[in-house]
Copies of this chain bind each other. A is one copy, B any other.
């Protein structure tokens, strides 16, 4: 999302540690420690520091099974020196250490892979290695990878309009948008992804899907597909990049119609099972059991790191070609930087967006999957490094986390590239 007004001040990570705050402790928890879905308390900071690791306790979900295969081991070679790596946050004059940055970002968990080995792994608050955490828009990068692979395989025509695959969307903004335009978020939608405005369409979208509770008397759309069908066109498709999550929701229906499978089945068969994932993941779903394709995947930190490692290794991991190399190559090459620039992301100068991945075009060729409140996969090919991070920052926009994250990632990458 685009930059926002100066942020209000929130209590810091230590003061909002969800273990220390004793959220949901007790049977039942006392009223002031209770977090519920129906009253939206789960969606308020600092309760979110607990909620993001407990989505399944709050709403219906669809499992993304790991399957019966063996776990793909991630060898460990932990390096205590990483905590002391220093960097200068964007816009700061002082430097801080990597260890300090974790609190700045309200980190719930972070894992660094170097040449496939775990060199750093930390969990904060209520997150543990076994627990899936909501990936928010990192979900998009998983879902879009499935679509990009089917384009390479000739199963989906990237130049076909979405209505070819999802006729119910013919009269909506998506009707004449091509799959490629949707994948690169270069569609003209009458929509706004402004998380700071409670009247923003983004909230109606999540209420339609049942991710957020509906107010009394709600008479809006009852599912994601119904919501999408009501999105009108504003402007032309194929113009500037505009980050709008309904694009991924539409893409999800393309995938379902082409394969006859749910996104959960697809991610199970094509990703989690082949990755040798440690744990089952799961999706938040709407009242028709359609997954929240734009932001609803929940996965463990290690399994998200495995996916990042597969991307780093030209799509190949655990003996499987999980992502076609052509898809990885195309994402690394990036999207149209001029079309991206107009979106005005202050912390992402020179970046681009391709197939729902964020591409830095820096000297290491780094690219990312990014989700609100600090979810991230950061892949640095030159440093042979992958970082997976979950966080519960009080503010949705990554513009609030990037200053203490992006230079930290680059500093660790540079550090790892030096001989030990």
A residues with a Cβ closer than 8 A to B are 24, 27-29, 34, 36-38, 56-63, 65, 68, 130, 223, 225, 253, 256-257, 262, 280, 285, 287-290
* Distance from A190 Cβ to chain B, minimum over Cβ atoms (Å): 23
Given A130-B65, A280-B280, A288-B34, A256–B60 Cβ distance below 8 Å? no
- A-B contacts, 28 of them at CB < 8 A, read A24-B289, A27-B256, A27-B262, A27-B290, A28-B223, A28-B225, A28-B289, A28-B290, A34-B288, A36-B288, A37-B60, A37-B287, A56-B56, A56-B60, A56-B61, A56-B62, A56-B63, A57-B60, A57-B61, A57-B62, A57-B285, A58-B60, A59-B60, A60-B60, A61-B61, A65-B130, A68-B130, A280-B280
Q: Which residue of B lies closest to A28 (CB)?
A: B288
A257: B residues at CB distance < 8 A: 27
Instruction: Give the distance to chain B from A242, nearest Cβ to Cβ, in Å.
Output: 26
Number of copies: 2
List B contacts of A59 (CB < 8 A): 60
Closest to A168 in B: B28
Residues on the B chain within 8 Å of A34, using CB: 288
User: Nearest chain B CB to A215's CB is how many angstroms away?
Assistant: 13
Q: Is the CB of A289 within 8 A of B57?
A: yes
Q: Which 8 A-B residue pairs are closest in the complex by CB-CB distance?
A: A28-B288, A27-B256, A36-B287, A57-B60, A57-B289, A28-B290, A58-B60, A57-B62
Closest-by-CB residue of B relative to A257 is B27
CB distance from A411 to the nearest CB of B (A): 34
Structural contact, A29 and B130, CB atoms closer than 8 A: no
Closest to A210 in B: B38
Across the two chains, which residue of chain B brings its CB closest to A291?
B27
Give A262's nearest chain B residue, CB to CB: B27
B residues within 8 A CB of A290?
27-28
Q: How far is the CB of A396 from chain B (nearest CB, A)?
A: 23
Contacts of A68 in B (CB 8 A): 130
Residues of chain B with a CB closer than 8 A to A27's CB: 225, 253, 256-257, 262, 290
Residue in chain B with minimal CB distance to A24: B289
Compute how far the CA of A412 lies from the CA of B225 in the bound complex, rounded to whole angstroms.
50
A264 (CB) vs chain B CBs: closest residue: B57
Shortest beta-carbon distance, A110 to chain B, in Å?
21
Q: How far is the CB of A37 from chain B (nearest CB, A)?
A: 7
Determine the chain B residues whose CB is within 8 A of the CB of A262 once the complex forms: 27
A61 CA to B34 CA in the complex, in Å? 16
CA distance in complex: A288, B30 (Å): 9
In Å, the complex CA distance between A264 and B416 comes to 42
B residues in contact with A285, CB < 8 Å: 57
Residues in chain B near residue A29, CB distance under 8 A:
288-289
CA distance A63 to B289 in the complex (A): 19
Query: Which residues on the B side are within 8 Å of A36 (C-beta)?
Result: 287-288
Closest Cβ of chain B: how far from A227's Cβ, in Å?
12
15 additional A-B residue pairs with CB within 8 Å, beyond A34-B288, A56-B61: A27-B225, A27-B256, A27-B257, A27-B262, A27-B290, A28-B225, A28-B288, A28-B290, A37-B60, A56-B62, A57-B62, A57-B289, A58-B60, A59-B60, A280-B280
